[in-house]
C-alpha cells in the first residue's frame, strides 16, 4: 500500500510542472534541429564545392530572401498564393461538409455517388489543372478550384467516417426526447465527429498549398508557384529555395492554426490532471 506521503507526492501541481517541463524541452528541440540542419547543409556545400545554381549556401538563400523582401516582390507572390489557398479552403470545405454529411446519413446516396467521386479522385490533379484553366480562365478562379479539388476528397472521407461513427443509441435517445434534426446535428453529431473532421482538415490545409502551386505551375504570372518556375528558368536556385521555404512556412502556419483550433474546441477530451 502507498503511504499518504506517496499520495501527496503525486499532486496535480507536480504533474502540471512536469508536463510544462516536457513541453518546453520538446519545443526547445525545434531550433536545435534547425541549427543542425543548416550546419549540415553548409558542410555539404563546402565539402562538395557545389556552385550556387546547383546548391546555394544558407547564407546565399538568406541574402536572396532579404533582397526579394526589400523589393516587395516576395510579399506580392505570397499574398496571391494565400488568396488562392483560402479560397480553395472555403470552397472545398463547404462542399465536403455538406456532401459528406449527406453521404454519411444516406447509404443509398453513398452507393450512387461514391463510384463517381472515387473515379474523379483517381484523375491526377496535375492532369486536371490544365482543363480547369481552359474552362475557367487563367485568373484566380481556376487556381481556387484546383485547391478545392485537391483537399476535397480527404476531408469528405473523414466527415463520412465521423458521421457514421456517432453512436446510434445516442441518436435514438435524442429522437425519443423529440430533438429536431438540427439539434441532433448540433448537440451530438457535430461534437462527436469533430476529432475525425480535424484529422481531415489537417491534411486538407497542407494539400491546399499543393493545389495552389499546381495551378500556378500550369498558368500564372504571380504566386509562389510562378516564382518557382521563374527561378528555374533563370537558374536562380537561391530564389527557388526562397519560394519553397515560403510554401513550407505557409503550410506549417495553417497546420498550427488548425491544431490550435482543435485543442481549443476539443479541450474537453483531455481533462486536466
Contact 76, 138 (CB under 8 A): no
pLDDT tens across 207-251, in order? 899 999 998 988 888 899 999 999 998 999 999 999 999 999 999
Rounded CA separation 260/199 (Å): 13
pLDDT at 43 over 50: yes
Mean pLDDT, range 128-152, rounded to an integer: 90
Rounded CA separation 64/59 (Å): 9
pLDDT at 273 over 50: no
pLDDT tens across 65-79, in order? 999 999 888 999 999
Res 105: pLDDT: 87
pLDDT at 83 over 90: yes
CA-wise closest residue to 246 among 51, 118, 85, 26: 85
Question: ∠ CA 50-54-60 to the nearest 5 degrees?
Answer: 80
SS3 of 133, please?
helix
DSSP for 162-177, please give it. HHHTS-HHHHHHHHHT
Contact 88, 208 (CB under 8 A): yes
Share of the chain above pLDDT 70, in %: 88
Res 38: pLDDT: 86
Mean pLDDT estimate for the chain: 85
Which range of 15-24, 160-169, 209-218 scores highest in mean pLDDT? It is 209-218
N residues, the chain: 273
User: How far is residue 135 from each of residues 115, 125, 172, 216, measured CA to CA in Å?
Assistant: 24, 15, 47, 15
Contact 273, 16 (CB under 8 A): yes
pLDDT at 11 over 80: no
Question: ∠ CA 12-16-19 to the nearest 5 degrees?
Answer: 140
Rounded CA separation 97/102 (Å): 9
Enumerate residues 6+ apart whose C-beta is below 8 A from 151.
88, 89, 92, 93, 96, 203, 204, 205, 207, 208, 211
Mean pLDDT, range 198-202, rounded to an integer: 88
Enumerate residues 6+ apart whose C-beta is below 8 A from 56.
45, 64, 237, 238, 241
Contact 266, 190 (CB under 8 A): no
Rounded CA separation 271/188 (Å): 20
CA-wise closest residue to 209 among 163, 258, 172: 258
pLDDT tens across 255-271, in order? 999 989 988 888 766 54
Res 263: pLDDT: 85
CB atoms within 10 A of CB 142: 23
Res 256: pLDDT: 92
More confident residue, 9 or 22: 22
Rounded CA separation 214/201 (Å): 20
pLDDT tens across 174-197, in order? 888 888 888 888 888 888 888 888
Amino acid at each position: 500500500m502507498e503511504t499518504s506521503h506517496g499520495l501527496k507526492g503525486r499532486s496535480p501541481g507536480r504533474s502540471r510542472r512536469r508536463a510544462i517541463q516536457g513541453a518546453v524541452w520538446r519545443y526547445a528541440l525545434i531550433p536545435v534541429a534547425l541549427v543542425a540542419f543548416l550546419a549540415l547543409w553548409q558542410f555539404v556545400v563546402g565539402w562538395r564545392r557545389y556552385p550556387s545554381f546547383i546548391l546555394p549556401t544558407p547564407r546565399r538563400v538568406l541574402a536572396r530572401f532579404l533582397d526579394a523582401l526589400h523589393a516587395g516582390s516576395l510579399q506580392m507572390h505570397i499574398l496571391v498564393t494565400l488568396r488562392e489557398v483560402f479560397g480553395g479552403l472555403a470552397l472545398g470545405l463547404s462542399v465536403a461538409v455538406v456532401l459528406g454529411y449527406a453521404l454519411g446519413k444516406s447509404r443509398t446516396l453513398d452507393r450512387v455517388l461514391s463510384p463517381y467521386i472515387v473515379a474523379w479522385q483517381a484523375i491526377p490533379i496535375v492532369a486536371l489543372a490544365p482543363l480547369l484553366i481552359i474552362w475557367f480562365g487563367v485568373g484566380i478562379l481556376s487556381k481556387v478550384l484546383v485547391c478545392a479539388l485537391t483537399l476535397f476528397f480527404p476531408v469528405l472521407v473523414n466527415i463520412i467516417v465521423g458521421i457514421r461513427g456517432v453512436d446510434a443509441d445516442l441518436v435514438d435517445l435524442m429522437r425519443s426526447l423529440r430533438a429536431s434534426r438540427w439539434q441532433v446535428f448540433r448537440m451530438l453529431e457535430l461534437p462527436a465527429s469533430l476529432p475525425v473532421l480535424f484529422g481531415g482538415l489537417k491534411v486538407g490545409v497542407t494539400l491546399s498549398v499543393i493545389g495552389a502551386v499546381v495551378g500556378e505551375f500550369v498558368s500564372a504570372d504571380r504566386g509562389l508557384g510562378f516564382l518557382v518556375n521563374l527561378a528555374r528558368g533563370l537558374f536562380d536556385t537561391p530564389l527557388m529555395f526562397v519560394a519553397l521555404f515560403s510554401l513550407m512556412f505557409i503550410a506549417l502556419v495553417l497546420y498550427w492554426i488548425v491544431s490550435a483550433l482543435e485543442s481549443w474546441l476539443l479541450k474537453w477530451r483531455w481533462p486536466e490532471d
